[in-house]
Chains A and B, each alone.
Chain A
Amino acid sequence: MTANQEGAARGGRRSAYNFAYLDEQSKRMIRRCILKAMAVPGFQVPFGSREMPLAYGWGTGGIQLTASIIGPDDRLKVIDQGADDATNAVSIRRFFKKVTGVETTEQTSAATIIQTRHRVPETALEERQILIYQVPSPEPLKRLEPREAETRKMHAYGEYGLMSVQLYEDISRFGHIATTNSYPVMTNERYLMSPSPIPKFDNPKLGKNPAIQLFGAGREKRIYAVPPYTQVRSLDFDDHPFKVQRWTQSCSLCGATESYLDEILMDDKGQRMFVCSDTDYCATRKESQQASSNDGTSGSPAHPSREAEKGPNS
């Protein structure tokens, strides 16, 4: 993925931004950190996070990762909470369209780079794909030990007893491990890692995944990675094994029973429905169902705009 040196966007009298916004020096610095992160799976590599034109906490880590690896031939998908049309996903996609002009898509299988906040797509990823997570708090030990000087040592020396104490406390209090998202994992049996605030439902997708998974925390200035086919184990106890969420409902739109469901409030009398949080997954299923039942009719009303959006000024 070579970067285009030409200024991709011109706006205002002073500015002529580089391809993908960041200057090439910064991109190289970030790529070096990515390589280091790939070499030591789960280890948090400090990096010189730049101030981006989007606010800290809004995906600056993921944006910097995407910016430093994206090339003109890439096809980008951005999701927030599983949805392509969530406001911040739209905003980040627009940003990259503006500063790179690359093609964007909502189809998981069509994307080469997927930037995500809080979900892993339901559709299985492939070797040619890179999944980029936006990470608010990269340090899984932070709530137990606020001092970075100390947590760094705990990682270095593999002192992870404290994390188990947290899980122990959950079980003794609730009868279960209460962590429902950001559920801590052990990567490559060496580094304790936060999978970012994905629901624990998505944790099993991290391990042995053919795609490259990169994690970027802009405000906290850390990058970490799970290389393809790396072992990722969710922490648990022998007698309280890791379990994912299950719903008694199925998706009201596509009927899926195996996907993560969002609860939608229908009115103020408590009427609810459950639909897939992954909008592309849901729409793809609906389309194939409709295609098999009646040929040639219109697509899903709920997920209408799925065609690849092309060019900077489409």
Chain B
Amino acid sequence: MNAVSRQIRPGRRQPLLSVSHLTKAYGRTLGCEDISFDLFPGEIIAIVGESGSGKSTLLNCLSGQMVPDKGSVVYAMQDKGPTDVLTLKEPERRRLMRTDWGLVHQNPRDGLRMAVSAGGNIGERPMGLGARHYGDIRNEAQDWLTQVEIDLSRTDHHPKTFSGGMQQRLQIARILVTRPRLVFMDEPTGGLDVSVQARLLDLLRGLVMNIGVAVVLVTHDLSVARLLAHRIIVMRRGNIVETGLTDQVLDDPHHPYTQLLVSSVL
């Protein structure tokens, strides 16, 4: 994985993730219907919509937390190339989830081990992959703490002593340590103060651009999408109503629903 291979060259490169006709219903209620899109290496795509629009269902189906009724989620796996992750066996899916993928929960408590130190939280994924040198594991953890702007004096502290913003940054460090190629983020700035949000977004943007990770970002907040995403997918009642480059969609929305969303923010 060199820097060149991480650059975005849509059109000429294979997509990292290719979603086709994904459908999930709860009884008679629709979760999401016939969703298709491609995500390229290093690309950040934001899925926006109100609550109940199906964006969380979609994220859950993509990240393996829920089994869709129909469709495929083809991922360019490092060892065996494009593979429908829905057909993966459980150990393979779990392995993918803790190596090449990551999931940033809205509530950091869901993504962190609250009774384990910050260093241990970051060290878990490397240790799961066989890291056996305490000093190296700790150095790498501290390197990531620095990257997410957490003071090294907090290395051995438990996340429960951290502020919400710090917890969220720790959660991100815990995932990025294995340099995943794809990260799912579920309202990563939800529940944070506006000033804390801004700092986190800034940091996220820097990190993501730096290591060239692709991101599927679910948010109801268009300003988050504008700041982070290359492309936007607008969802309503389980369906995609509009999709395009972020600036394009936000500055010149075509669908009436998107227009409504944009105007309600402004």
Please give the residue numbers on chain A whose beta carbons come within 8 Å of chain B beta carbons, in ascending order: 153, 156-157, 159-162, 164-165, 168-169, 171-173, 237-240
Contact = CB atoms under 8 A, between A and B. Distances in A.
A159 B99 CA distance: 12
A161 B124 contact: yes
A162 B127 CA distance: 8
Nearest to B135: A239
Contacts of A239: 133-135
Contact of B137 (A156, A168, A173): A168
Contact of A168 (B91, B123, B129): B123
Interface string B107-150: 00000010011011001110111011111011000000000000
B94 interface: yes
Interface in B64-107: 90-91, 94-95, 98
B132 A157 contact: no
Contacts of B128: 159-162, 164
B127 A173 contact: no
A52 B94 CA distance: 40
Contacts, number: 61
B90 A157 contact: yes
A contact patch SS? helix
B136 to A, nearest CB: 8
Query: Can you list the 5 inter-chain pairs with the closest CB atoms, starting with the nearest?
Result: A161-B128, A164-B127, A157-B91, A237-B134, A238-B133
Interface of B: 90-91, 94-95, 98, 113, 116-117, 119-120, 123-125, 127-129, 131-135, 137-138, 155-156
A153 B92 CA distance: 12
A164 B113 CA distance: 14
Contacts of A156: 91
B128 to A, nearest CB: 3
A44 to B, nearest CB: 18
Contacts of A160: 128
A238 B119 CA distance: 18
B132 A172 contact: no
Given A172-B117, A173-B156, A157 B123 contact: no
Given A168-B134, A239-B133, 13 more contacts: A157-B95, A159-B98, A161-B127, A164-B123, A164-B131, A165-B113, A168-B123, A169-B116, A169-B120, A172-B119, A172-B155, A237-B133, A238-B133
11 contacts: A161-B129, A164-B123, A165-B113, A165-B116, A165-B123, A168-B137, A168-B138, A169-B120, A237-B132, A238-B132, A238-B133
Contacts of A172: 117, 119-120, 138, 155-156
Contacts of A162: 124, 128
B127 A165 contact: yes
Contacts of B98: 159, 161
Contacts of A168: 119-120, 123, 127, 134, 137-138
Nearest to B118: A172
B134 A165 contact: no
A154 to B, nearest CB: 9
A168 B132 CA distance: 10
Nearest to B127: A164
Nearest to A173: B156
B64 to A, nearest CB: 14
A204 to B, nearest CB: 19
A171 B123 contact: no
B140 to A, nearest CB: 12
A169 B132 CA distance: 14
A156, A169, A172: most-surrounded residue (chain B CB, <10 A): A172
A162, A169, A238: most-surrounded residue (chain B CB, <10 A): A169
A159 B94 contact: yes
Contacts of A161: 98, 124-125, 127-129
Nearest to A236: B132
Nearest to B132: A238
Nearest to A161: B128
A66 B216 CA distance: 57
Contacts of A237: 132-134, 137
Contacts of B124: 161-162, 164-165
Nearest to B158: A169
